[in-house]
Every structure is written in structure tokens, then in C-alpha cells.
Amino acid sequence: MQDTDIKFLEDSFKKYYFEHFDLIHVPERTSEREFGFQKFNSGMTRHIQIKDDKELHLLFMQNVPSDVYCSNAYYSFPNLPMNEKDWKEADLIFDIDAKDLNLTCRANHTVSICYECNEISKDSNQCRKCNSTKLEKKSLPCKNCIDQSKIQVERLSEILTNDFAIDKENIHVYFSGNEGFHVYVYNSQFQEIGSRERSELTDYISLRGAIPETFGMRKFKQDRAAFPDFNEKGWKGRFSKYVFGSKSKRSKIITELLANGYSSFQKTLDDVSKNIGVKIDPNVTMDIHRIFRLPGSINSKSGLTKILCTDLTKFDPYSEASFLSDETIEVLANSPIEFKLKNKKFGPYNNEKVTVPTFVAVYMICKKLAKTA
């Protein structure tokens, strides 16, 4: 990124942090957490301990970070090296990202940027100019991406409340600032479990690793009564609603399942898992030492804010998470794909000078689709 771009992003971010510090959620038990930040075009600074809002504010003002992070873990000594921190517990976190949902819309709003010659084109596997295969993909997620991610968040919340008895007020959903959502669970029975246990939880939530017996299918001594019912709790009930469709079809479908046999049932399970298992990134949940983007801070991949969604159904990130100023600026834009911000359409731009509001310019520069003119 060129110096003028960095300067522009820094100025825009600084203004945001100055005007919207109220949006930055200082997490509870602040002094037990590890903070970290990144500046534009430089590495990560972490192992920082912060006392309160004031200190956090100072960090933003002094450093003008591109990204700010905070641990979900609680430590005795958050500022010491990893193995001396003395891990105590960690909130449970789930990451739902549109890019993991294999949506068909994705190809329509992904651009490829060539590492070799910087040529920008619509999604492809090879640079149209120099034929290089080393490409960076940037996606400008659409409404469908967000809607599909919301469905996953809702499914996840349903499992957390019903199967794991987690209170609704202990589940907080944040828009990640780019393509998905982060779901935080506080004060649960899972605070103290380690990484392997968390990985097992993710397998449960995504319905991975189930055996046919769990849903009533046996290798030998088959028994119709072993198949789950509609009103059963947990995955059994969800399974029957999905596979049988309606109560009246249950008996007929069980006959079919039994006729198709055990190994075919395993395939049915894979299909069920693909369709009703929640698509979460297991690596994020497993990692008990990770630092996560701080709620209220800007995501430098987009210039949008990671923000708490109080009403998920109505939430529209492209109007509600965009807080940068409306002041206009001239940029050299090269975005083969159209996008929508604050209910207005922008682009496509073919390597042209355009005057756009700051929030649009930042979005494009963060996506590497524009430069300051």
C-alpha cells in the first residue's frame, strides 16, 4: 500500500476513534485480558495489559492502529510471554464466516488481484495479463452472504440455549466487520475447558462425527422404535424434522432407510450434517490463546466496525456498521464489481478517477481496489 493511502486510512480511522469511542466495548475483567494491535504495513504488537477505558483510549490515540485485538482468555499476567501468562479461563467464541458457507453467489462478487503484476479481474484462477497463478482473492460480500450467515448464527444460538442451557443474555452476537459474525458466550460451564474439549464442542455443533446408531440405525438387530421422534430434544429432534419432513412421512421413510442399509445411512448423515450442521470455524473456537478483534474497533479489511447486533434479523452491516465520514475524496478506483454501502450503489469502476465519500474510499482501499488520487 502506498504512503498516501496509509495516511488517508490513518486519518479516517483516527477521526472515527476520536468521535466514536462510546462504541468501543471495554470487555469485563479488562485487566485480566491480553490486548494487541497492528499498525498499517507493520507487524503485530501484543501482550499488552490495559486497566480501563482511559488506557484503551490512549492506546488508540497514540498508535492509530489498523486493527485492535483482545483475548477471550483471562490470565493472571496478561502482559508476560505466552507460557508465563498463567491461563485461567476463556469465554467461548464462535466464528461464522460467509466464505466458509460455499455460497454460489461468491463467484459473482470476488475479485482476483495478481501478486506479480497487480492486475485486478473478476474471480479467476489465473491472471489474465501475466498468466500467474499467484492471486489474492478479495470478496465484496453481498446481502445473500450476510443473510446466510445470519441463519447459521440463529442455528448456533438455538443449540447453545437448548442443548447447552446457556442463558440468552450470555450470548452476544457481533458483526465481524467483514464477512461474518462472532458469537461470544460468557459465564458458561465451558469457561475452563481446554482446546480439545472445545474442538469436541464444535464437532457437536456442526454435527460432525455422528454414527448411524445415534439416530437409530443399527448394523444388526434393526429396530424401528430406535429411530428418533419429532419432539425429541437435541440433534435427534432436528434430525427427524429434517429427514422425515412431517410426522405422516416418518414411517415410510424409516422403511426406506432400513432398506437402504447401514452404509447408505452414513451417507444420509453426511448430507444432514451439510444441511443442518452449523458451519463454524472449528479452529477459532479451539484456540484458547487467540486475540480477537475488539468490539467497536474497525476491521482494516473493510473499514467497517465490529459491532454488537441487538436485533440480528433487521441488522444490515452495510448501513449499520459503516461509521466513517461522508466527506468526499478523489480516488483512482479499479473495482470490476458493484457494491452497496449506506443504501447506495457504487461501481463498477474501470481504473477511473472518481469522487466518493470517505467510507466508500476506505472500503475500496482496504479491499485493494482503489488508491488515493
* Residue from 59, 166, 171, 360 binding other proteins (CB under 8 A): 166
Shortest distance in whole angstroms from residue 192 CB to other proteins: 7
Q: Which of 173, 182, 178 is nearest to 308 (CA)?
A: 173
* Residue from 7, 134, 249, 267 binding other proteins (CB under 8 A): 134
* Residue from 180, 282, 296, 357 binding other proteins (CB under 8 A): 282
Q: Which of 200, 196, 214 is nearest to 272 (CA)?
A: 214
* Residue from 204, 258, 312, 340 binding other proteins (CB under 8 A): 204
Task: By CB under 8 A, tell whether 331 contacts other proteins.
Answer: no
Residue with smaller CB distance to other proteins, 40 or 204? 204
- Please give the residues from 136 up to 155 whose contact with other proteins meets the rule CB under 8 A: 136
Task: By CB under 8 A, tell whether 223 contacts other proteins.
Answer: no
Residue with smaller CB distance to other proteins, 234 or 245? 234
Cβ neighbours of residue 121 closer than 8 Å, sequence gap 6 or more: 111, 112, 127, 128, 336
Task: By CB under 8 A, tell whether 83 contacts other proteins.
Answer: yes
- The length of the chain is 373
Shortest distance in whole angstroms from residue 88 CB to other proteins: 15
Task: By CB under 8 A, tell whether 197 contacts other proteins.
Answer: yes
Question: Which of the stretches 19-27, 176-184, 198-206, 303-311 binds other proteins when contact is defined by CB under 8 A?
Answer: 198-206
Task: By CB under 8 A, tell whether 119 contacts other proteins.
Answer: no
Shortest distance in whole angstroms from residue 231 CB to other proteins: 12
DSSP for 9-68, please give it: HHHHHHHHHHH-GGG--PPSSGGGS-EEEE-TTS-EEEEE---SHHHHHHHHHHH--SEE
Task: By CB under 8 A, tell whether 327 contacts other proteins.
Answer: no
Distance CA 306, CA 342 (A): 16
Q: Catalytic positions, please?
A: 95, 97, 281
Task: By CB under 8 A, tell whether 135 contacts other proteins.
Answer: yes
Residue with smaller CB distance to other proteins, 25 or 46? 46
What is the DSSP secondary structure assignment for residue 116, as one 8-state letter? T
Task: By CB under 8 A, tell whether 261 contacts other proteins.
Answer: no
**Residues paired with 185 in a beta bridge:** 92, 171
Task: By CB under 8 A, tell whether 165 contacts other proteins.
Answer: yes
Tracing cell 485493494 back to the chain, one arrives at 368
Distance CA 131, CA 317 (A): 36
Shortest distance in whole angstroms from residue 101 CB to other proteins: 15
Distance CA 39, CA 28 (A): 25
Residue with smaller CB distance to other proteins, 235 or 359? 235
Q: Which of 214, 208, 238 is nearest to 227 (CA)?
A: 214
DSSP for 323-359, please give it: -S---EEEEEEEESS-EEETTEEE--EEEEEEEEEHH
* Footprint on this chain of other proteins (rule: CB under 8 A): 81-83, 115, 133-136, 162-166, 189-190, 192-193, 196-197, 199-204, 207-211, 213-214, 233-236, 282-283
